[in-house]
Structure formats: structure tokens, C-alpha cells
Structure 1
Amino acid sequence: MSLSRSDLRSAVDAGMPTVIEDLKQLARIPSVAFEGFDHSHVTRSAEAVAELLRGAGMDDVRIVTAKGASGQTGQPAVIGRKAAPAGAPHVLLYAHHDVQPAGDYDDWEQDDPFEPQLRGERLFGRGCADDKAGVMAHVAALRAFGDDLPVGVTVFVEGEEEFGSDSLENLITENRDLLAADVIVIADSANWDVGHPALTTSLRGVINAYVEVRTLNQAVHSGMFGGAVPDALTALCRLLGTLHDETGDVAVEGLKTGTAAPLDLPEERLRAESGMVDGVEFIGSGRLVERLWTKPTATVLGIDAPGARESANALQPSARAKISLRLAPGDESVSAFEAVKRHLEARVPWGAQLTVTLDHGGNPCQIDARGERYDAARAAFAEAWDGVEPVDMGVGGAIPFIATFQELFPDAAILVTGVEDPDSRAHGPNESLHLAEFTRACRAEALLLHNLSEL
């Protein structure tokens, strides 16, 4: 006999101290899948996730890998599965166990970003929110049911999401039968605010590219040749400046824009959440939520050039930048890259040689969140947040593989949920998880499984 809603909620709350301690243990593993890092930690993280799933009652738990587009074997993912009772739906629960690099430790308010630290209502540390809390939300829901799980569940925890998910499409294709589900829950997003839940119904796409400019065969004396001979670094700066118009809107022709949900984001809230310095103005036009969710962006991620301290008085022969563009829902990464390339080629100054190389791209996503399975999710969220109704919101970040799920499982309802809040600072220093909000997210997932079993 399945648990009542009140008993289920009590079971989640009672299990939270253990869930939080397990989250700390998982976050202590520096599972960075980026090149140049020790990938044995990613393997260790996968093994820890597999053990957590076995302890939560998964009958079949396996660690799997696949080759990516590059031909290299990707980082390990974990699949745990428990069959559905007769007539019950099957639910796929997704998260990822790899994390972003910590960056400069001096930027953190703790000595070690991989040693979780509790300060007030928040747990600080790399991966405590993105996305090891997503992993533990799945574990918390499974533990609350014990042996009375009313639906079939597959837990799929990826190991290289932060590094571009190069092998994910092959992973999904090769394990399609194991991953097939009626409902797919992707726990890698955020809520509208602390105390206010949300379903994510749109996400931007992304293209990252390298832009290299060359003007000389070698560096030459800036006094002897400057004034007539152009240097590559100045040429690159001028070229990158053409990506925006005077208001800060992206100036690349051919990129799409859209309309965001009717939500109001106060300027002072965005200033506080982003850490904008006093006096800095917002860029772009339109409502803030449109600038963040449904309009393209262009960002210079880094530049390869001599550092200011060690630079010589010389004209630089070449300079390279890595740029990132976020794409509005409805756009497409291949055509967007070609639009950016055309834009740069038409504007490269002084006849400089230009090379534009795609690093990686992913398509945006739009979800039609209508129907009884989405209603079941909204009811679960409202109950978990003590009567606060969830909103449908967009997210400026990208989860390109959602399009793969939509293509391979067209009849599945895809629910993009999350444990983060606007102050979680995922990807940056001092990443954190609001523990009361985390408890609500764990309740919501357990209640969602309960509600789906009754459809």
C-alpha cells in the first residue's frame, strides 16, 4: 500500500539530515571532467553515486560510458533502474555528478571549495548545488518511499555535463531501452526565488567559438612600426566590439529573438543577484526577463595574448579570443554559427587574416508544459512549497541534450526542475545551496512520483 501524501512528506523531512550528510560526502569529490584535471575523481564520483542508488532500492545499477563525437570515450555515467508496478508509468530522473572547476581558491570564502561549509541557511561548496544536490534530490525521493515505490523509476546521472556532454547522445542512444520513460525529470535548473517554485519551460542554446586574427608574421617594435602597421590585438578588440550595438543588444543579423513569460524581474534584485558594481548600467533592450531568457547574447570568455605585466613594447602578430553566444528558443546552433562567422568576416578591420572555429554548439529548447503530467508536477510543487503556486519560467543557460530526449522519446513529458535559487552562484565562486529550499525540492519530487502514480 502506497504512502499517503502527509506520510510521504514526513518521510522526506525525516531523511533530510542523512541526505545532507551524503551530499557533503559527494561534494568532497572534485569530479571535474574538463581536460587537464584528474579524471579518476569523476570515476570515484560515479562509483559513489552508484552506491547511493543501490542503497535507495534500485534493483539494477550500472556504470556506463560511450564514445563522443571526438571518438574519445566519455566520462562515466550511472544508470539505476527499478521496474514499474503493473499498469504504473515509468519515470526517468536525470542529474549530473560532474562539476565546474573551482577556479581561483582565493575568490572563495572558505579554504577549500571541495570541503562543504554550512553558513546560516546555506551549504557552500563546489557542486553542492550544481548538480550534486540534483542527484541527492532523486535519492531523497526514493528513500522516502522505501519498498513502496508506486511507479517505475530510472535514475540517469551523467558525468560530463559541465564539459559539454560530448558522449551523451551516444549514451542515450546505446541505452535507449533502459532510459525509455513516460515522464522525464531533469533536475538541473532553478526556482524563481527562495520560497517560490518554478517549472523551466524554455532554455537558450549555445555556440562557443574561437576567433583568431593575424596581421604579422612576427612581433615587431611598436615605436618603429606603430602608426602604419596594425597589431593583431587591437584588430581583435575592434572586431569583438562589433558583436554588440550601442545599447548592448547583439548586432549579429540572422539570430532569432522571442517573448518571455509575463514575469517581472526588478532591477534591484538582478543587481544584487549578479553582484553588479555600483554605477554599472544594464545592457540591451526589452524586459529584463527577455534579455535573460529569450534574446541572444554574446560574451568574450577569454583572450590569448601576452599578459599586461610581462608584455613587451611590440606589435602583436596574432591574437585569439573565445566567444560564447546564447541563442533564443526557436533558433538553431548550426545556422547561428554561420551567421556569427559571416558577421565577423564582413567586419574584420584593416584586411587582417581571420579564422573562426566552432568549439561546440547546442540547440535551445521550448517545452509545451500542458497536460495532466505537468498538472501533476505543479500540484506537487504547490504542496511542497506550502501552497505557493509554481510559475513557468525561462532560463538563460543551456541544456542542449533536452532536444535529444525530445527526439528519441517524443511521447514523454519533460519536466525541467531544479534545486537552485537565484543566489546559488552556480559556476562561480561561493556556490551554495539553500537547505530549506532543497528540502522543498526533495518533497516536490517525492510528491510528483506519488501524483503520477494516480493518473
Structure 2
Amino acid sequence: MSDAIRTRVTELLPGIRKDLEDLVRIESVSADPARASEVQRSAEAVAELFRAEGFASVDIVSAEGGAPAVIAHKPGPAGAPTVLLYAHHDVQPENDHAEWDSPPFEPTERGDRLYGRGAADDKAGIAAHLGALRVFGDELPVSVTMFIEGEEEVGSDTLPALLAEHQEALRADVIVIADSGNWDIGEPALTTSLRGLVRADIEVRTLTHAVHSGMWGGLVPDSLIALSRVIASLHDDAGDVAIEGLHAGPAADVVYPEERLRAESGAVPGIEWIGTGSAVERLWTKPALSITGLDAPKVDGASNTLVAAARAKISLRVAPGDTTANALACLRAHVEKHVPWGAELTFTVVDTGEPTAIDATGPAYEAARAAFAEAWDGTAPVDMGVGGSIPFIAEFLEAFPEASVLVTGVEDPDTRAHGANEGLHLAEFEKVVLAEALLLRNLGGLGAQ
């Protein structure tokens, strides 16, 4: 049967790719209000794909004014488990077209990749689900519910409401979330932890209005220097986050080779890494903090003036096992403690997203590991952490605590999701489709959990 599934995937691949390319051509940028009609068109195109596969029910839904999502269901044999397959049809903005080597919404094959916005993140997730289902036609080994979200790239704000409103329709024994990636080309992975996120804007004010730096410098504190001292306090000399009370934990025993780190990070040749611990601990299971924006006068044209106030955006990645409530409280306390010279501080929370640690044990995970190893010709999957944040996974874990949640995906280290020249590795994509088909077969052998 495994050989038959493998052969069937190869036969189906041209059609799967065509469907993916058609989806990529739809500019479903959820962050752009001017393209809301494109997001709607994308949802309708996805729904039509499910109708063509004979799904018994296909609905386009939304909650609280959110973007359209698609929920569809196709029954399997009596007594078989129900598997929910998640992906999202919205995409990131393409930004400057000049940075792309080909038009961002015209899928283009170069070398071993298919390039285009959403070619990987995450319209390839939709295509992988469809491909796995087409292997079985109307003889599915499990009952399948499709849930294709339309606002993941803008934070999934209405997802909790959607999950609550459609909880019974979405209830499943196993949830497969295809929005992550693999460890490397030829090395599959199951994502078992993700860092959370706390973002805050801080403003440091020393004056009610700007004043002459010569007349008042040396007596009146400079808001830019005061802000710089706060920022400098956020890391110790080794580069570890210096905020007291944050959680950190061990990571899987995975080696991240130095040459690969440098190639994939884009680090300049002489840069030294910051922090302590293994590379994957620093990337997956320890907190990380960055300054992602500053409001201050530009160097060009700056006058000899003491600026009244300066502002920075802090992005704090929260380790699995911690909570955003704790991280936010610790960050606020640290900043308040380190504001110098009596300067006024304004601390504004921008957004938060919970970290995730998944219990990757049990029959569903055993079925997944066996399927991945078979699809990748004997290479067992890595239990991988992700340094970035996918807060909606925590929403699924909370809404469906009885379900086994598997986080998979089509990306690889050179996918460049969210950036210019986003690309899908085509040979790996075929393995992803095969692995999911084998997983559905294996889950069908388990019976309802």
C-alpha cells in the first residue's frame, strides 16, 4: 500500500501544483484593507477546491468582522478518528517589488523552487492537505475537517471567537497544523515548541519641549541618552536577556552547524553570537529581546537640540513554559527600574502571544513519526523548536485539550517566508504531501481516540 500511495502522489503532483499556483495568483494580503476583496476571493477559491473534492459541507465563515475562513467536512469510515487539517490562505504583504527576482504574485519556477508570495506560507499547506486527500478519493481512512483561516498573518485576532462559535464542527481527535517547517532539505521535523511574544512601546521623556544643547547640555538629561541607557540594560555583557524572572529551559539535542548558522542568518563575517547555551537553546527555549523600531530625529539634518522624548519598540520572545503575563510584568518592572535621572516613562503594550510546549507523545505522534520516516526514506523527524511565534497554536490547545496537535509544514531554512523571493522547494513539497497521506493512513488504523 505504501508503494501505491507513493505512486499516486507522484501522479497527482502536477494537478496539486496547478491549484497552488492558482491560489498564489490571488493577492490575499490580509494586512491591506484595499485588498479585502482579494482575501474574500481567496476564501471562495479554497472553498471551491473542497467542493470539487466531494466535501459534504463547505462554509465560508467569519467572526466579529474578521477575515473569511473556510470550514469543510468529509466523513470517513464509521468509528474512524476525525482529523482536522489547518492552514491559512492569507499572505504577508509583498513589499517592494524591486526586491523580487520575479513578480511576487506570478508563481515562477527557478532551479528547484517555486517562487511567489504564499507559495510556501501557507498556500502550500492548503495544497499539501488537498494532495493527501486526493490520494484516497472518496475512500478516506479517517473523517476530515478542513479549517483554512484568513487572518493568520495579522495575528488571528478573531480566531478564539471562531473556535468558540464552531467548536463542535471543529472538534477532532487529531489536529494537523501545516504552518511550520522542516529542519533541513532531506530532514523532516515535527514542531514541538514555539516561543511566545510580548511587544511594547516605551517612551522616555526628559523635557516638555526641545531646548538648545549648548545652553542646557550638561545639566538637563538628554532623552536619547536616557533611552539608550534603558536599552543597554536589557542584556548582560554576554548578550543574555538581563530581565529578572523570565523562564528558560533546555532544548532538544540538535546540532546547528556553525557554517549553516552563518549562511541562514545572513550574519556579516565577523559577527559574534550573543548569549550562552547551545545554539538551539538560544533560538528555541530561552527568551530573546530585540529593539525593532526607534522614534528619534534622523542624523541627516539633525540640529544641536536636546530632544524632549524618544521612543522604542521592544520585541520580547517568551520561552516555552513561561506566560506572556509573567513576561510582561517582568519587562515592565525592569524598564521602570532602569529609567535614569527621574525621566518620565510611558509603557504601552502593543500585543502578546502565548508560547507553546506540546506533549509530543502518544499514538498520533507515533503515527506521524512513522509516516515522516517513510516519506523521507528512513530519515526520522527531528523534534524541532521554533524561535518565532504562532500564538494561535495555543488557542487550539486550549479549545481542544483532548486532541493531539501535530505541527507540521512545508518550509525549509531557505524558504524566506515573509521576505522577498519566498520559495517552495518542490522535491520537499512532494515528500510533505506523501508524509501527510501516510499519516492519514496510519491514523485510520488507530480507530477513534
Same fold (TM > 0.5): yes
Letter paired with 2:10: D
| Cα contact 2:76–2:139 (8 A) shared by 1 | no
Letter paired with 2:89: H
| Cα contact 2:206–2:344 (8 A) shared by 1 | yes
Corresponding residue of 2:93: 101
Out of 129, 132, 136, the position equivalent to 2:123 is 132
Of residues 230-239 and 352-361 in structure 1, the stretch that sits farther from structure 2 once superposed is 230-239
Letter paired with 1:185: V
SS in 1 for 2:240: coil
Q: Deviations over 1:238-259 (max 9, x none)?
A: 2122211111111111100000
Corresponding residue of 1:161: 152
| Cα contact 1:299–1:323 (8 A) shared by 2 | yes
**Structure 1 position 452, deviation (Å):** 0.7
Out of 45, 48, 52, the position equivalent to 1:55 is 52
**Structure 1 position 37, deviation (Å):** 5.0
Q: Distance in 2 between matches of 1:267 and 1:140?
A: 36
Q: Distance in 1 between matches of 2:20 and 2:116?
A: 11
**Structure 1 position 213, deviation (Å):** 1.8
**Structure 1 position 35, deviation (Å):** 5.7
| Cα contact 2:108–2:116 (8 A) shared by 1 | yes
- 1:235 has 2:221 as partner: no
- Structure 2: stretches of 5+ with no match in the other structure: none
**Structure 1 position 144, deviation (Å):** 1.9
| Cα contact 1:332–1:364 (8 A) shared by 2 | yes
| Cα contact 2:83–2:142 (8 A) shared by 1 | yes
Out of 203, 218, 221, the position equivalent to 2:209 is 218
Corresponding residue of 2:80: 88
Q: Deviations over 1:314-354 (max 9, x none)?
A: 32222222221111110000111010000001101222211
Of residues 119-128 and 311-320 in structure 1, the stretch that sits farther from structure 2 once superposed is 311-320
Out of 330, 340, 344, the position equivalent to 1:349 is 340
Q: Deviations over 1:201-233 (max 9, x none)?
A: 111111111112222222333333333323323
Q: Deviations over 1:261-310 (max 9, x none)?
A: 01111111111011111111111110001001000000111122333335
| Cα contact 2:32–2:93 (8 A) shared by 1 | no
SS in 2 for 1:38: helix
Q: Distance in 2 between matches of 1:129 and 1:221?
A: 53
SS in 2 for 1:249: coil
SS in 2 for 1:88: coil
Corresponding residue of 2:41: 44
- 1:433 has 2:430 as partner: no
| Cα contact 2:24–2:119 (8 A) shared by 1 | yes
Corresponding residue of 1:318: 309
Of residues 315-324 and 270-279 in structure 1, the stretch that sits farther from structure 2 once superposed is 315-324
Q: Distance in 2 between matches of 1:56 and 1:209?
A: 45
Closer/same/farther in 2, CA of residues 315 and 115 from structure 1, 3 Å limit? farther
Q: Distance in 2 between matches of 1:216 and 1:27?
A: 51
Q: Distance in 1 between matches of 2:428 and 2:408?
A: 13
| Cα contact 1:57–1:143 (8 A) shared by 2 | no
| Cα contact 2:56–2:74 (8 A) shared by 1 | yes
Letter paired with 2:22: Q
Of residues 142-151 and 89-98 in structure 1, the stretch that sits farther from structure 2 once superposed is 142-151
| Cα contact 1:329–1:364 (8 A) shared by 2 | yes
**Structure 1 position 41, deviation (Å):** 2.0
SS in 2 for 1:228: coil
| Cα contact 2:367–2:442 (8 A) shared by 1 | yes
Q: TM-score, normalising length from structure 1?
A: 0.94
**Structure 1 position 36, deviation (Å):** 5.4
Closer/same/farther in 2, CA of residues 5 and 241 from structure 1, 3 Å limit? same
- Structure 1: stretches of 5+ with no match in the other structure: 68-72
Of residues 290-299 and 355-364 in structure 1, the stretch that sits farther from structure 2 once superposed is 355-364
C-alpha RMSD of matched pairs (Å)? 1.6
The size of the alignment, in residue pairs, is 446
Closer/same/farther in 2, CA of residues 109 and 224 from structure 1, 3 Å limit? farther
Q: Distance in 2 between matches of 1:357 and 1:102?
A: 29
Corresponding residue of 1:406: 397
Q: Distance in 2 between matches of 1:125 and 1:169?
A: 30
Closer/same/farther in 2, CA of residues 355 and 182 from structure 1, 3 Å limit? same
**Structure 1 position 53, deviation (Å):** 1.8
Closer/same/farther in 2, CA of residues 57 and 234 from structure 1, 3 Å limit? farther
